[in-house]
Amino acid sequence: MLDILRNNSDIMKLWYYRKHMPFPVPSAAPCRNVLDILRNNSRLEALYAMGANRAFQFCLHYKRTTEFRRLCDILRNHLSNLIK
Sequence-ordered list of residues with C-beta below 8 angstroms from that of 31, at least 6 positions apart, any chain: 51, 54, 55, 58, 71
Domain ranges in the chain are 2-83
Closest by CA position to 29, among listed 63, 60, 59, 61: 59
Please tell me the pTM assigned to this model.
0.65
pLDDT tens digits along 4-58? 545 556 666 655 656 555 555 567 778 788 888 888 888 889 999 998 998 898 8
